[in-house]
Each structure stands twice: as structure tokens, then as C-alpha cells.
Structure 1
Amino acid sequence: MIIAVPKEIKNNENRVALTAAGTEILKKAGHQILIEKNAGQGSGISDQDYNKAGAEIVNNKKELFDRAEMIIKVKEPLQEEYDLFKKDQILFTYLHLAADKKLTEALKKKGVTAVAYETVQSEDGELPLLTPMSEVAGRLSVQAAAAFLEKPKGGSGMLLGGVPGVKPAKVVVIGGGIVGRNAAKIALGMGADVTIMDIKQSTMRYIDDIFQGQIKTIMSNNAHVAEEVSQADVVIGAVLIPGAKAPNLVTEKMIKTMTDGSVVVDVAIDQGGCIEGTYPTTHDNPVFTKYGVIHYSVANMPGAVARTSTFALTNATLSYIKKLAAHGYKEAMLNDYSLAKGLNIYQGEIFCQAVAESFGQEYRSIDNLLKSWQ
């Protein structure tokens, strides 16, 4: 199969979808790998590294797309890339379609077979391709919050961990999944007073166990969230509903109760955001201030630590890329139901229920599609 890796064009998106080591593995399996010139530069992977691994460097993005049978990316395509796709191409990347109707319609119109990293789901409910970037984003969220609490950056002037005799900052993490646990781990390590809120008792028991009671756990409901947010110096929004638009759990009314110079970080912004009033920002201009509270809502947070993120992503995606390339999408999905759950768009129709419901559209059953392929 001809596999193409474009250079990402989202603001400050320095990740790349494949490492040189991953390229070598795919090349040895008999596949042709096309890498757009300088695609790996932001992750510290040179064109020479890819050449040594057996890839062909392509200077022109249109040529890259024209020749590709499968395109692997990191972030969702931007509008200037829509016309580059052609019918029956496989697109394998983070899509987050529930928050992007224009992209959804473009992929439907083009007849692309669009497989989303974030909806590949194992039998136990885990999201193996979302996990590594959730780990990165969760950890980064606290680094960002700590930085923007500093007075020169507009914050309240609090040191996250305090010092002896001075209380630490109060960090409230909403959502006890991968993002939330990783945010809590870093906040606790920096000495903050940490609370995690979630709707599942089992999640809170697990968190209480692994952190040995060092992190407070509180049931997430509107009244409890309002109370905790009003007392917080930092709020991390870490809510995820696989494939769906994130619900607004922190309202603007709650934000107004926070102290001036406090910080909120909306890690769910690429799924529409779970903090009301946030909108996607960039690494060039990562924050805005509203009601005296600093809002950090960069939609591609892991791009800031691109080298770590690129290697972590390839570690997770490579086995699925190998299956798609070796067998084609039909056989690969028939043999691996977790991969089949990643199918979002196929032949102009939506196969992810959460995406369809976001736009009030009809969706097709992946189970019926798989039966038709047998």
C-alpha cells in the first residue's frame, strides 16, 4: 500500500504521524512510504532520517495526496486540505468530527474512508489511540496552569505548591479519566491541593486507591461543581464522551465566582469544550481573560511537546496502520472490531452515532456494514 504522511499545517502543530522507526517497519513489510518534505522537522526527525528508513520525500503536498492510498495524520484536515482528498482514500487521524460539521460534510462529499484515532475502542472500553495524547495533555494542562498563575502572565501570583507556612493552590479536576488522572498526578507532584470530580463511584474509588487518599474525590453534579469551582485557583476540564461533543459542565456563572487571576484549562476544547465560554486558542496566543479568569484552551496541546508526543503516538497507532496497510480496511476491520469502531465516514455516510447525533443526522450501523462485507 502507498502510505502518505503530510506535514501538519495547524498552528504550531509540530507532531508528525510516523517516526523514522515506524517508517522502517512499514517499509520492511512491503509498503511504500511517502513523507512530505520537512514533515518531521518539528519533532526532531529529519528528511534524511526518513530516507535512511526507506521513505520517499515528496516536495509537493498535492502530489503526496494524489499518489496516496492511505493518508495518516495527527490532526484533523484543515479547510485548505479538503480538496486534496479523493474518493476511497483511507484517512487515519484524530478527527473530532462532532465539533466540526464543515469537515464532516467535506469528507462525506469526497467519499473518503475516514477512521478516527479517538473512536478506536477496545472490548474493555479503553481508547488505545487517544490514551497517549490524553496522558500528554493532562500533564501539560497543569504545567500551563502553573505558568499562567504567575503575576507577569496575568495570574493571581500563586505558586502552585505553595511553600512552608503558605497554603498551596487549589486545583479542581473535572473528569477522572486518563486526562484527569494525569493532571492530578502532576498537580499533586507539584504540591497542590488537588480534588477530582467524576460521576462514577468506581472511578473515584480507583483514584482514591492509586493516590492513597492524597487526592480528594467528590461526586460530580451541578451543585458540587459550582461549590468547588468557586474555591479553585485552577480548574482543569477533562471530560470526555467518546466521539461526542463535550458537555458544558462548568458554566460562565460558575466562572464569575472565581478569584481574579485564577486559571481554567479546557482540555476538551477539540471536542467543543466542557467549560462554557471557551473557544479554541493557539500556541501563539494560548489564553484569553474573561470575568477576570485566565482561560487556556489550546486545541492541540500535545503539539507543544512534539517529540514526546510523536513517539508516543506512533507507539500506539503503528499496529493499526500495519493492519490497514496489509489487509485493506475491510479485512482489517472484519478481523479487529476495535478498529471498526474507528470508522466515522464511509462512502458519504456517517458510521459514528455520536457524530451523527451532534448534527441531527442519520447514522449507519457499523455492525450491518461489517455483515455486508462478509
Structure 2
Amino acid sequence: MALGRSNWDTILDILAATFPGCIITGSADNVATGTNLAFASRGLAPSAVASYVSTYASLNPILPATALLAANQVFHDNHLLDRAVTAAAPFHRKWVAQLGDFAASSGVVLLRQGTRQLTLEVRYSAQRQAELRPLIAGVLSEAAQHFERAFEIASRTRFSGGRGYLEGVVADLPFSVFFVSEDMRIHYSNVHGEALRRQHGGPFSSADGILRAADERADHQLRTLVERVTTSKRTPTSVQQISLGGMDERYFAIARLALRGNQHYQLHDAVLDPGPLVMLIIHGSLEMSSLPTDLLWRAFSLTESEARLAEALLNGATLADFAKEREVSKQTLRNQLVGVMRKTGTRRQSELVSLLTRLALTCL
């Protein structure tokens, strides 16, 4: 399922075959609003499904109680709420009772993200409780462990670039990368991003998984940048300079919408999908790009002095700056620059820097 080789139809069919005569439901809900986000079942007529989604999901008295459970914790209806109380509720009188004798249920909260959660539940007759409850609890408990791993894989294969895109591409980028939702919740960060946000006295503070700039003004700038990208009708790339009070270094945030891979929508996507995600790249003004001298020598046959000039230009130095640092004349450096551009096949200094920058991104 995590890799797209199975789906919820298969899972529900297996459970229906394992527990004949029972009703199997998978329900994704926003427990804060009582809104049903997605619903699938076995053993329910289409009219019962429609009425549940449109009306009775929000009246389910068990739903608020399940929100207090830990994820992957198996529950039984009468352990959460007295069965006499639930029987008097409109949900049971007007919906459950119309289905037949299905007053008892056992289930498990498989997934939770914020106020959204996914619950798998089996409904059965209270007369069969002693027979079915231990069997259902055993199956759901074991299945929950596998679902947890499946959802972890699914959540990391949702971006364009194919499976393993985050681990195989983004993780290896030599700068800080965050994937954040509009509320600035971090859904992924590479090793450089993790180091940056955990840095004592650094530019960010995010112990609770929310990315915040340490400076209040900078935090507002960052949130505005992400909001601008998520609400745009196009897929723009936006850049914001973030100045932090009391710090010499400035930071540059480059934001673009993170495109999703082509996938078939599944029940758990209603919980996993946080809406638009922004790929946020953070560069510090004092960060230095580097190119190994031996790489420049092998690729372009640059001399040591030409390689040093190329690296200085890559890091924003001017010829005058580098001439002063190296205590050589600017004319000598101009001659070296002509040689570097000839060997690299570039015609302008800006074109040379662009080439060097692309090479530097591959040198971790």
C-alpha cells in the first residue's frame, strides 16, 4: 500500500472476509470540527454511507473519545463511553439502529496529524462480543504496527521526482532545506536544515516542529513568504532576505511550491495531506561555496592560482578584493581570468560564476 501496490479496497475486503457478518469502516475525520474527510466501508449500503458522511459522522459520540487515545491504540466502544449513553444518542438511534444489530464496535486509531485522524473500526452484535472482541483486537493490534511503517513510507514518497526523492536527492543537497505547510509545520528537513534549526543561538527556534525565526520581524517575513507561495495561482519561486536583530549574518530564504508526484488518492491521504507544501531553502550570507582544486584541475586543467581565483569569484569576491588579498596586480588577475574563461568555455564572468555554482552544488 505504501508503495502503491495495494489499496484500501484490498484491505477492507480482507477484513470483511476475516469477520463475516460485521461492518468494516475506515474513516478519516477532523476531530476538532467533527467533519468527515474520507470514508470507506464494507457491509454498508450506499444510502447508509451517504447519510453517515453528510450527517451522522459529526454526531458520532465515540469520535471525541478516540481523539484522546494514543495512535495505534486498540479501543472498544463501551470502554470509551457507557453503551446506554451511546444507545440514546441520535447517532445510534437514527443511524446504527437502522443497520441492524451492530451496537458493539472495536477499532484502532491508525494515523493522526494535528486534528485529523484515521480510524479503522469493526462493528458487530453485542451478543457476539465475547467471541469476536479478542480476535478483532488481535488483528487490529498487529496490523497497526504495519500501517505505521506504511504511512511513514507514504508520507515520504509524495513529492515529484519519484520514490526516494527526499532521501536520494534533497537529503544530499549542501544547504538547508525544509518542507513546510502554510502553518510553518516542518514535514521534512534535510541534515543541514536540522543542524540549522537546532543551532544554539541560531536563526531559528523550532523545538515543537514549527519553524520560527528567532527574530519577531524576521518570523513575520518568513510566514508572509510561505503564505505568498501557497496562495499563488501559479507555481512561483520567491526570495526573501531575512535580517535577524543582533546578528551580523543575513539569511536568504528561497521558497517554491513542492510539487506532488502522480499518485492514486487513498483513504489515508485525507490525513497525511496537509495541503500545499513549500520547499524552503535557507542560505546564510556568510556561507562559503567550495570547489576542490583537484576537481578544477581534472575538469579544466586550471593551474593552482587559476583555481584559487575561480573559487574566490564563486564566493562573491571582486578582482580588486582578490588582488589586494593575494598582493598581486589586477592586470595579473585579468590575465588569469581570461585563461580560466578560455579553459572553461565561458565568455563572461557571470557565465563563469554560474558554471562554478552548478558544480559547487554537486560537491558535498
- Using structure 2 for the length normalisation, give the TM-score: 0.29
Bigger Rg over Cα: 2
- Using structure 1 for the length normalisation, give the TM-score: 0.28
Larger relative contact order, structure 1 or 2 (CA cutoff 8 Å, min sep 6): 1
Kindly indicate which of the two structures has a greater share of residues assigned to strand.
Answer: 2
